[in-house]
Copies of this chain bind each other. A is one copy, B any other.
Amino acid sequence: MISREEHESAQAYTANELAAAGIELTDGERAEIEVADFGLGRLREIGLQLLVYVNTDRYCAKELVLYPLQMCPEHRHPPFEGSPGKEETFRCRRGTVELWMDGERIGLRPGEQLTIPPDTLHWFRAGDEGAVVSEFSSASRDDLDVFTDPRIVRAPQVEP
């Protein structure tokens, strides 16, 4: 459960970081920023902030924003409904991010990108200054993500 205060603070941080990356949002989008603590209650350590621009049944585009040293834990995007699973490209916009995939560490700085094949375990963590990362992908179904840590609940629960 994410407290109202933590949720608002994370949305404000995300909007500020996107603005600092030159990314303009509408007012409606600002309110739609998703704050995910993966049900672990340690947002600044394990969590992710997201804004989904578009998600059709064919493609998806999002911005991901991370606090300094915040980690998105290991997961994969499994096959579903005739799709081999989500294929995604991360492009670093601001700060730095380290990605781990197949036991390999890939560091991304602004302007650098990496494509992750479907159904492939990966995790990532921002550097000391946090990170803004654009994600381009096939259709996204976050509810189907398979996390290695069985305690994880992907859908954020925010204090009413």
Residues of A within 8 A of B (CB): 21-26, 29, 53-54, 56, 58-61, 87, 89, 91, 93-94, 110-113, 115, 134, 136-138
Q: In the docked arrangement, what's the CA distance between A58 and B86, Å?
A: 9
State A111–B15 Cα separation when bound (angstroms).
12
Known: A58-B59, A59-B59, A61-B61. A24 touches B87 (CB 8 A): no
**B22 contacts A89, C-beta separation under 8 Å:** no
Chain B residues with CB under 8 A of A21: 22
Cα distance A77–B136 in the bound complex, in angstroms: 20
B contact residues around A93 at 8 Å (CB): 22-24
- Cα distance, A91 to B113, chains bound together (Å): 20
Partner of A136, one of B59, B113, B115: B59
Complex Cα gap A36–B37 (Å):
45
Q: Other CB < 8 Å A-B pairs besides A22-B23, A58-B59, 10 of them? A: A23-B93, A53-B136, A54-B113, A54-B115, A54-B136, A58-B58, A59-B59, A61-B61, A61-B91, A61-B134
